[in-house]
């Protein structure tokens, strides 16, 4: 396969198990963990958990990545689409609210095939970085119910500096447009669990409140009430960020209040977090099984 799946379009040669692209992965999915997860937004995790499948590898290189052991370490178990479909069935039978595919972009064709082999009776959540090719997302049209996507930056210079992701802003906005086209506005069941729509996450970084407020304003101008926003303060210095002058600490109460005030003033619907969420407790144990 000559790969053009992610916005980098690096034309890398990828075999089933070995790849020479930015993500470093072959075409068969590499999975680090399959388990119920209770740390997502209330409308995703609920009481029974979200049935998460964590994929290894990534199309970004965030210096503060909280999952860097699998995003850059490329550890995990190689699965065929048939085996991946069985993971969905197993999670569904455990009683989870949904099937949550975390960082699966670089395996999109195989993931689409797995969902055609077995379409869960619960909603399918596509949990991603925002750095998606809109064209690649069309492979998932009709297979994904909920897009849980990041909008990390309002400044392309920061996207390059902290995530090696050129043209992040326009790429992420284009991807969200495609997501909305596929799912429409958010819809919920009688218990408040999300069934359809786009939920956009923004992680507030220490010393960068202006860029966070600009990100919210940009989302509001472009999408209004067609999306929901999850404003996160769970940032914990990980990886290279531990030694960065600006990123080497958690977000202060004052910083987070400034950004939440902007969210409320814009009248955007969504979620906020308590500062106590700034902990590594929500990071899964990678069993690679």
Confidence check: pLDDT of 266 > 80: yes
Closest CA to 37 of 112, 89, 86, 99: 99
In this prediction, residue 281 carries a pLDDT of 62
> DSSP readout, 203-259?
EPPTT-HHHHHHHHHHHHHHHGGGSEEEEE------GGGGG-TTTSSPPPHHHHHHH
Confidence check: pLDDT of 77 > 80: yes
Q: What is the CATH number of the domain that holds 246?
A: 3.20.20.70
In-domain check, residue 66: yes
In-domain check, residue 110: yes
Q: Are 19 and 37 spatial neighbours (Cβ–Cβ below 8 Å)?
A: no
Q: What is the pLDDT of residues 27-64, one digit of tens each?
A: 999 999 999 999 999 999 999 999 999 999 999 999 99
Q: Are 7 and 131 spatial neighbours (Cβ–Cβ below 8 Å)?
A: yes
Confidence check: pLDDT of 289 > 60: no
Q: What is the pLDDT of residues 89-108, one digit of tens each?
A: 999 999 999 999 999 999 99
Rounded to 10 deg, the angle between the 209-223 and 168-183 helix axes is 40
Strand partners, 2: 13
- Number of domains the chain is built from: 1
Neighbour-count burial of 155, counting CB atoms closer than 10 A to its CB (0-12 exposed, 13-18 middle, 19+ buried): middle
Closest CA to 17 of 77, 69, 62: 77
In-domain check, residue 219: yes
In this prediction, residue 107 carries a pLDDT of 97
Tokens coding 184: 């429409």
Neighbour-count burial of 151, counting CB atoms closer than 10 A to its CB (0-12 exposed, 13-18 middle, 19+ buried): buried
Closest CA to 154 of 135, 173, 137, 178: 173
Residue 222 structural domain:
30-282
In-domain check, residue 20: no
Residues 6+ apart with CB under 8 A from 135: none
Rounded to whole angstroms, the Cα distance separating 64 from 201 reads 16
In-domain check, residue 22: no
Confidence check: pLDDT of 165 > 90: yes
The DSSP bridge pattern shows strands 146-150 and 194-203 to be: parallel
Q: Are 233 and 277 spatial neighbours (Cβ–Cβ below 8 Å)?
A: yes
In this prediction, residue 75 carries a pLDDT of 82
Residues 6+ apart with CB under 8 A from 205: 64, 162, 211, 212, 235, 246, 247, 251
């Amino acid at each position: 396969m000559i790969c053009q799946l992610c916005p980098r379009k690096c034309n890398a040669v990828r075999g089933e198990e070995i790849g020479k692209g930015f993500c470093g992965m072959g075409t068969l999915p590499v999975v680090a963990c399959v388990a119920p997860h209770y740390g997502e937004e209330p409308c995703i995790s609920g009481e029974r958990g979200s049935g998460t499948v964590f994929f290894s590898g990534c199309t970004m290189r965030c210096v503060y990545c909280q999952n860097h052991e699998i995003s850059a370490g490329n550890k995990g178990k190689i699965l065929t689409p048939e085996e991946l479909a069985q993971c969905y069935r197993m999670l569904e039978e455990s009683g989870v609210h949904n099937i949550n595919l975390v960082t699966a972009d670089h395996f999109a064709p195989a993931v689409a095939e797995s969902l055609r082999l077995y379409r869960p009776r619960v909603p399918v959540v596509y949990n991603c970085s925002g750095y998606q090719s809109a064209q690649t997302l069309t492979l998932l049209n009709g297979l994904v119910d909920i897009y849980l996507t990041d909008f990390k930056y309002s400044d392309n210079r920061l996207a390059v500096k902290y995530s090696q992701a050129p043209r992040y802003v326009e790429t992420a906005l284009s991807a969200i447009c495609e997501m909305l086209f596929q799912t429409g506005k958010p819809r919920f069941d009688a218990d408040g669990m999300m069934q359809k729509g786009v939920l956009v996450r923004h992680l507030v970084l220490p010393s960068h409140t202006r860029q966070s407020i600009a990100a919210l304003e940009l989302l509001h101008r472009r999408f209004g009430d067609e999306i929901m926003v999850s404003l996160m303060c769970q940032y914990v210095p990980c990886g290279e960020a531990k030694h960065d002058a600006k990123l080497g600490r958690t977000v202060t109460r004052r910083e987070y209040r400034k950004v939440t005030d902007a969210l409320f003033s814009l009248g955007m619907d969504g979620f906020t977090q308590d500062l106590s969420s700034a902990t590594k407790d929500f990071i899964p144990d990678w069993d690679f099984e």
